[in-house]
Structure 1
Amino acid sequence: MEVVLCVFAYFVGLVVAQTPEICRAPTVFEAKEQRVDFARHMEVGSTIGQDADNERFYRKETSVVSNLTVTLDLYHEIWSYREHALYRINMRTGECMRMGIVTSFEPIGIPLDARFVGYRHIGSSGIRNSNILTTNWVGENTEKKYRYDLVFTDASLGSSACLPVRVTRFYDDDRSLEQASLFDVTAGISDPTVFTPPDHCPPPPPLPPPTKQSSLFETL
């Protein structure tokens, strides 16, 4: 009897095919995220949401697994790039911290200069209707000094979906590695208040005065 091993992983096998076009991921969506921080030896489960139209992102942690003996608190984090502010709310104590953001907003998607490295099946390619075909992309973000490895669902086979499946980042400065797997991606934001920090949070810093000259490229 032939035994078929169903391996639910990204390295099941490459499919040799024509290079696909870079697809456009949803600009506004929510998802479940399982993030592994190898530098801190922990795995964090969260609900995340992106609103690229307003340059903001949130993460609400739901679980933390680590090799530490102490119980770690869960946090609700809000990145508001137009305010140049990151809010970090302790979900147990309610304490809120505000930190500045100096980098530009970067939506979850496939950069235009990403390099396609192949197709991969999630699930088993040997069992009918038990796999999803994905595309694998790699590249480098020189502004934030990291290299990336992205897996997205394939949108070239008659489907309009271009959904993030896995995002891996290797940071050059401290040689750290982060990997996030995304599940249950849904369009839109179910509760827009997730982007609103509590009233007791410190206010955002005042906006800088406008410059005499500006261009479209300065806002990107």
Structure 2
Amino acid sequence: MRVLVLFVCLSAGCLAQRPQRCTSPPQLTGDLYVATQNEKLLAFAKYSYDAQRQRIRLTESGVYSNETFQLDVLLLYRQRVMYKINSKNHTCYKRPLNVDFHPLAVPKNASLLAQVVLGGSSGPGQGILVNTWAGEQQMKEGKAGYMSTVTEFGCIPVSTLLHTSTNGWMVTSFFNNVVGLLDPQQLIPPPFCKDAQLEEEEGQDPATFFSLF
């Protein structure tokens, strides 16, 4: 009887533990949707993410400042270069990547807002347990507020809201996430990029993966 009581107490203690800050799996593949409060940007994208070798591939299409766009970029943080790829006409532009790699993770200064069930909790498989965290992040333009939601089990990203003085709230929603790289070749520059020369950065792209978090 004492063993049973002890087991129940230990189980209750485990269930009562507060959610912990976490880091997402080192390799992910999936889709995302991003939109800004000022309606300047609306885009859908497919992504491949490799934190181990600090590589990201983002293929997106959408509307930026009332103009449609398509963008295919390969970000190689260790090499400090970004490839803009056009697979249709086999052209490739190589530009400096002057930002540091930040793995998908709940920041250390984040505070827990809530733990909720997305969907339903009436039966198995009807919902998913998620944690929402909030805080401030230092950016080039100053401090920006954020809210990040990840799954309790696996720390899979669900959504991120980032507030900046330029765009207001920017929301990024992740879906169809798969742990691992479905096509590792996506994170290797295609052969026609071999002779691409490093160019000076010109302007700002509508949205690249590193600006979404």
Q: Which runs of 5+ in 2 are unaligned?
A: 1-15, 200-213
The yes-or-no answer on 1:128 pairing with 2:128 is no
Q: Is the 8 A contact 1:74 1:91 kept in 2?
A: no
1:101 & 1:134 partners in 2: Cα distance? Answer: 33
Alignment RMSD: 2.6
Q: What is the aligned partner in structure 1 of residue 150 from structure 2? A: 152
Kindly report structure 1 stretches of 4+ aligned residues shifted beyond 4 Å. Answer: 91-94
1:183 & 1:34 partners in 2: Cα distance? Answer: 8
The one-letter amino acid paired with 2:158 is V
1:138 & 1:176 partners in 2: Cα distance? Answer: 16
Aligned partner (choices 159, 166, 189) of residue 166 of structure 1: 159
Q: Which runs of 5+ in 1 are unaligned?
A: 1-16, 156-160, 206-220
The yes-or-no answer on 1:79 pairing with 2:71 is no
Q: Is the 8 A contact 1:149 1:168 kept in 2?
A: yes
Q: Where is the helix percentage greater, Structure 1 or Structure 2?
A: 2
TM-score, L = length of structure 1: 0.70
TM-score, L = length of structure 2: 0.72
Q: Is the 8 A contact 1:74 1:92 kept in 2?
A: no
1:20 & 1:56 partners in 2: Cα distance? Answer: 29
Q: Where is the strand percentage greater, Structure 1 or Structure 2?
A: 2
Q: How does 1:156-195 map to 2 (within 5 A)?
A: 161-172=154-165, 174-195=166-187
Q: Is the 8 A contact 1:73 1:90 kept in 2?
A: no
Aligned partner (choices 93, 103, 112) of residue 107 of structure 1: 103
1:48 & 1:33 partners in 2: Cα distance? Answer: 8
Q: What is the aligned partner in structure 2 of residue 217 from structure 1? A: none
DSSP 3-state at the match of 1:108: coil
The one-letter amino acid paired with 1:182 is F
The Cα shift of 1:77 comes to 1.2
The one-letter amino acid paired with 2:189 is P
Describe the shift of the 1:176–1:47 C-alpha distance in structure 2 as closer, same or farther (beyond 3 A).
same
The one-letter amino acid paired with 2:159 is R
The Cα shift of 1:18 comes to 5.2
DSSP 3-state at the match of 1:46: strand
Aligned partner (choices 68, 84, 98) of residue 94 of structure 2: 98
Q: Is the 8 A contact 1:44 1:65 kept in 2?
A: yes
The one-letter amino acid paired with 2:186 is V
Describe the shift of the 1:194–1:22 C-alpha distance in structure 2 as closer, same or farther (beyond 3 A).
same
The Cα shift of 1:152 comes to 0.5
